Chain A
Amino acid sequence: MVSLEKSWLSAYLPYSEEERRRIGEFLKVRVPSYGSLCLHCKGGRMLCGKSCCPLIVKAEKLLGQLRSIDSEKIQGSTPPSVFVGRIGYPKVYVGPLIPPFHGDTAFLDTPETWIGRGLEDIVNFRSTLVRGKFPVSADQPLRGGSLFEKLQEMALAARPVDAEALFAQKPQGAIVLSDEVQPFGPSAPLRAFWLSNVHADRVVEKCYYDDDLKAGEAVLQLYRDGVPVSKIQRCFSLGMFGDKGRRRVVPTRWSITAVDEAISLSLLREVRRYPPVGEYRVYAFKNLDNIFTAIFLPEAWSFEWIEAWFPGTVWNPQGREPELMGDYEGFRGRTTYADVGGCYYAARLAAAEALSRERRQAKVLILREIRNGYLLPVGVWNVRESVRQALKTQPHKFASFLEALDFAMRNLSVPLKAWLPRSVILRQALFQRKLADFSPQG
């Protein structure tokens, strides 16, 4: 780690001599062990191919944030928001995320409301939240200590909670010199924190105190009661549901996918019994320079998700052609973890919700193009909320698959011949005949 002023980044940041002394040392710059293109680029040569330097965007936000924190104490209204790290599992760092101001801060950690916000806003939301951290054993949430109990109490809140935190040192911001790390606010080890005005969410509280209700069932029950996925996931990550002896703390990243998976599996059990949709459909939606296109086929449920990372985006920094990756499941679902990871499950949840609402099933193919304006990955919520949004728009309807496909391809810049070898559903639809094609009536 080096301090900011010794790094090339300082040249891009508008801060004064005085500020440099005051906060410079609290903004650290870390070089990832696997090396980084950014070291050669230094923000000026645009080697990563993005439209502007994601590091400078992050650094500016973080700097703005550090300006407003000048002690080991912070006061503010937490949305409520928590983070559970995954490094060192099963010994993990957990803690509250608190912004340095009061008010209705719920939006800061409610991705369900972020559609339509620019990348700038999203980075801002993330950087604003100051993270306190302390260690717990993931497998012993009941022995997490008083800090941990308070954290659970906070997570139960229905509305933002006024909080005050005392850190072991002044919070530091870290910028990793790599364009593939999600933006994060400053953080520091937590000594103590105090809450006032906690109004527990009754529905969630009931599941928390139910020692016999299994975690999976609690998740479903809350979902059916209309609790937002992000809130369920937050409590799930703190090991607040399940059989008393079997509760676990779950790193935030894993808990998001666990909740997406549990809910979609349950919805799909019903969806598989509904009649198919009546026609071929194409839905399209754009968010943060990501293009989402969903094709519904009037057939039995199966699902495929394919993403095309354009040259210069996070997972394809050096390529000349878009890089495609995806995964598929048939009618009976899958037994292995999808290669593409969390976004598969987030997208599948959105698709299952839409079908369940309509009481229909369909064969669903969702294509995502990630273009250069997507400077940095903002999280799996982007996929869940964008696909949800896409499937709420009025679809274009077609009588044949070829018409639907032709229309869908007009929205996309990756050509059909690139999607085809990656897609099970496209190949099935184009090449696999059905038995009815050979029946007497045709």
Chain B
Amino acid sequence: MFRLVISDSRAWKNLMAAISTLVEEASFDVKPEGLALRAMDPSHVAMVDFEYPKESFQEYECTEPSKLCLDIGDMLKLMRRVEAGETLELTLDPQTNHLNMKLTGKYKRRFSLPLLQPSVSEVPTPKLTFDAQIKMDADCLNDAITDISNVSDQVKIEADEEKLVLTGLSETGNVVVEFERANQAVLDFQVKGEAKALYGVSFLQDMVKAGAASSKVVSVEFSTDKPVKIDFELPLQGKLTYYLAPRLE
């Protein structure tokens, strides 16, 4: 038995879009305590770690743990015209092996989506320590990365005890965005010594753009030439975290 109700279906759609930046097929772990997903993109360069505890849902029922595997692009297609304020109910139909989606707003709409065969792949969490941990306004980070994506396909992220600097270099031109620790977009700033690493801008842009739609606050954590962890704060212990492996110069 599995059933859940979300009061703000628009928010749910944004979260699904955030997952779909990395994977086409999403395999959720359905557990009595909530919904979780951990997946790597096909090139194994980026990863998303998503948790949504049962408290985050308006109603949540799950009697036994299972896997829920679906084409997330198709789910988004069905949800394309979701309106703010509509309530979404998801239930599983074991007979037809479909996920039923019921949207209740001014009137009721019902969609159903076939479930896919879950592929077995364990995704390990990278073991990382971070020299730089910076909590900041998600929209500001999104703007900074969008600026850089206009000129370059990679972004250099540097932090020392004073500031965070994002740089894009290319033949077209150079973009440098600085966030000093006292800047009002910066909420928390902890850097040990220095940290510097290079990342592919398209992954970073997709992640930050999708995450910023769900959360106002993001924390960026990294060390020299190590993966960056991008963590979006969600209400009620919800978790939307990305990891992205660096490039070498």
Q: Which residue of A lies closest to B44 (CB)?
A: A434
Q: Which residue of B lies closest to A440 (CB)?
A: B127
Give the chain B neighbours of A433 by CB distance below 8 A: 45, 227, 245-248
Q: A-facing mask of B232-249, CB < 8 A → 1, else 0?
A: 000000000001011111
Q: Are A435 and B247 in touch, CB under 8 angstroms?
A: no
With both chains docked as a complex, state the minimum distance between the C-beta of A422 and any C-beta of chain B, in angstroms.
13
Interface residues on A, range: 20 to 34
Is B40 an interface residue, CB under 8 A from the partner?
A: yes
Is A335 an interface residue, CB under 8 A from the partner?
A: no
With both chains docked as a complex, state the minimum distance between the C-beta of B114 and any C-beta of chain A, in angstroms.
15
Q: B-facing mask of A413-442, CB < 8 A → 1, else 0?
A: 000000000000000101111111111110
Is B124 an interface residue, CB under 8 A from the partner?
A: yes
Give the chain B neighbours of A436 by CB distance below 8 A: 44, 124
Give the chain B neighbours of A345 by CB distance below 8 A: none
- Interchain CA distance A121-B176 in the complex, whole Å: 58
Q: Which residue of A lies closest to B245 (CB)?
A: A433
Give the chain B neighbours of A272 by CB distance below 8 A: 42
- Interchain CA distance A272-B24 in the complex, whole Å: 11
Give the chain B neighbours of A428 by CB distance below 8 A: 43
With both chains docked as a complex, state the minimum distance between the C-beta of A265 and any C-beta of chain B, in angstroms.
15
Q: Are A331 and B43 in touch, CB under 8 angstroms?
A: yes
Is A334 an interface residue, CB under 8 A from the partner?
A: no
* Contact among B24, B226, B248 for A438, CB-based, below 8 A: B226
A300-B43, A432-B245, A432-B247 given; A438·B227 CB < 8 A: yes
- Interchain CA distance A81-B246 in the complex, whole Å: 54
Give the chain A neighbours of B47 by CB distance below 8 A: 435
Interface centre among A428, A433, A441 (most CB of B within 10 A): A433
Give the chain A neighbours of B182 by CB distance below 8 A: none
Count A-B pairs with CB separation below 8 Å: 60
Q: Are B126 and A332 in touch, CB under 8 angstroms?
A: no
A431-B247, A433-B245 given; A438·B128 CB < 8 A: yes
* Contact among B24, B40, B200, B248 for A435, CB-based, below 8 A: B40
* Contact among A331, A437, A441 for B42, CB-based, below 8 A: A331
Give the chain B neighbours of A434 by CB distance below 8 A: 43-45, 245
Interface centre among A330, A331, A438 (most CB of B within 10 A): A438
Give the chain B neighbours of A437 by CB distance below 8 A: 245
- Interchain CA distance A363-B43 in the complex, whole Å: 9
How many B residues touch A, CB cutoff 8 Å?
Answer: 22
Q: Are A431 and B245 in touch, CB under 8 angstroms?
A: no
With both chains docked as a complex, state the minimum distance between the C-beta of A303 and any C-beta of chain B, in angstroms.
13
- Interchain CA distance A431-B44 in the complex, whole Å: 14
* Contact among A299, A301, A330, A435 for B243, CB-based, below 8 A: A435
- Interchain CA distance A264-B28 in the complex, whole Å: 31
* Residues B209-249 near A (CB distance < 8 A): 226-227, 243, 245-249
Q: Are A432 and B127 in touch, CB under 8 angstroms?
A: no
Q: Are B124 and A439 in touch, CB under 8 angstroms?
A: yes
Q: Are A435 and B45 in touch, CB under 8 angstroms?
A: yes
Q: Are B126 and A439 in touch, CB under 8 angstroms?
A: yes
Is B46 an interface residue, CB under 8 A from the partner?
A: yes
A439-B124, A439-B127 given; A300·B200 CB < 8 A: no
Interface centre among B46, B47, B227, B243 (most CB of A within 10 A): B227
Give the chain A neighbours of B41 by CB distance below 8 A: 331
Q: Which residue of A lies closest to B123 (CB)?
A: A435
Q: Which residue of B lies closest to A302 (CB)?
A: B43
- Interchain CA distance A406-B240 in the complex, whole Å: 41
Q: A-facing mask of B56-78, CB < 8 A → 1, else 0?
A: 00000000000000000000000
A332-B24, A438-B226, A438-B227 given; A432·B45 CB < 8 A: yes
Give the chain B neighbours of A431 by CB distance below 8 A: 247-249
Give the chain A neighbours of B42 by CB distance below 8 A: 272, 299-301, 331
With both chains docked as a complex, state the minimum distance between the C-beta of B176 and any C-beta of chain A, in angstroms.
22
- Interchain CA distance A414-B228 in the complex, whole Å: 36
- Interchain CA distance A63-B94 in the complex, whole Å: 74
Q: A-facing mask of B122-144, CB < 8 A → 1, else 0?
A: 00101110000000000000000
Q: Which residue of A lies closest to B248 (CB)?
A: A431
- Interchain CA distance A302-B45 in the complex, whole Å: 14
Q: Are A435 and B126 in touch, CB under 8 angstroms?
A: yes
Q: Which residue of B lies closest to A435 (CB)?
A: B245
* Residues B196-211 near A (CB distance < 8 A): 200
Give the chain B neighbours of A363 by CB distance below 8 A: 43
With both chains docked as a complex, state the minimum distance between the C-beta of B40 and any C-beta of chain A, in angstroms.
7
With both chains docked as a complex, state the minimum distance between the C-beta of B230 and any C-beta of chain A, in angstroms.
13
Q: Which residue of A lies closest to B227 (CB)?
A: A438
Give the chain B neighbours of A302 by CB distance below 8 A: 43
Give the chain B neighbours of A331 by CB distance below 8 A: 41-43
Q: Are B226 and A299 in touch, CB under 8 angstroms?
A: no
* Residues A124-150 near B (CB distance < 8 A): none
Q: Which residue of B lies closest to A299 (CB)?
A: B43
Q: Which residue of B lies closest to A427 (CB)?
A: B247
* Residues A146-171 near B (CB distance < 8 A): none
Give the chain A neighbours of B44 by CB distance below 8 A: 299-300, 434-436
Interface centre among A428, A432, A434, A437 (most CB of B within 10 A): A432
- Interchain CA distance A272-B44 in the complex, whole Å: 15
Q: Which residue of B lies closest to A300 (CB)?
A: B42
- Interchain CA distance A431-B247 in the complex, whole Å: 5
Interface centre among B44, B47, B226 (most CB of A within 10 A): B44
Interface centre among B24, B42, B44, B226 (most CB of A within 10 A): B42
The 6 closest A-B pairs by CB, nearest first: A300-B42, A331-B42, A433-B245, A438-B126, A434-B44, A431-B247
Interface residues of B (CB under 8 A from A): 24, 40-47, 124, 126-128, 200, 226-227, 243, 245-249
Kindly list 17 other residue pairs between chains A and B, CB separation below 8 angstroms, not including A435-B45, A436-B124.
A299-B43, A300-B42, A331-B43, A363-B43, A428-B43, A430-B248, A431-B248, A433-B45, A433-B246, A433-B247, A434-B45, A434-B245, A435-B46, A435-B245, A438-B128, A438-B227, A439-B127
Show 14 residue pairs from A and B whose CB-CB distance is below 8 angstroms, ordered by the A residue.
A299-B44, A300-B43, A300-B44, A330-B43, A331-B41, A331-B43, A332-B24, A431-B247, A431-B249, A432-B245, A433-B227, A433-B245, A438-B127, A440-B124
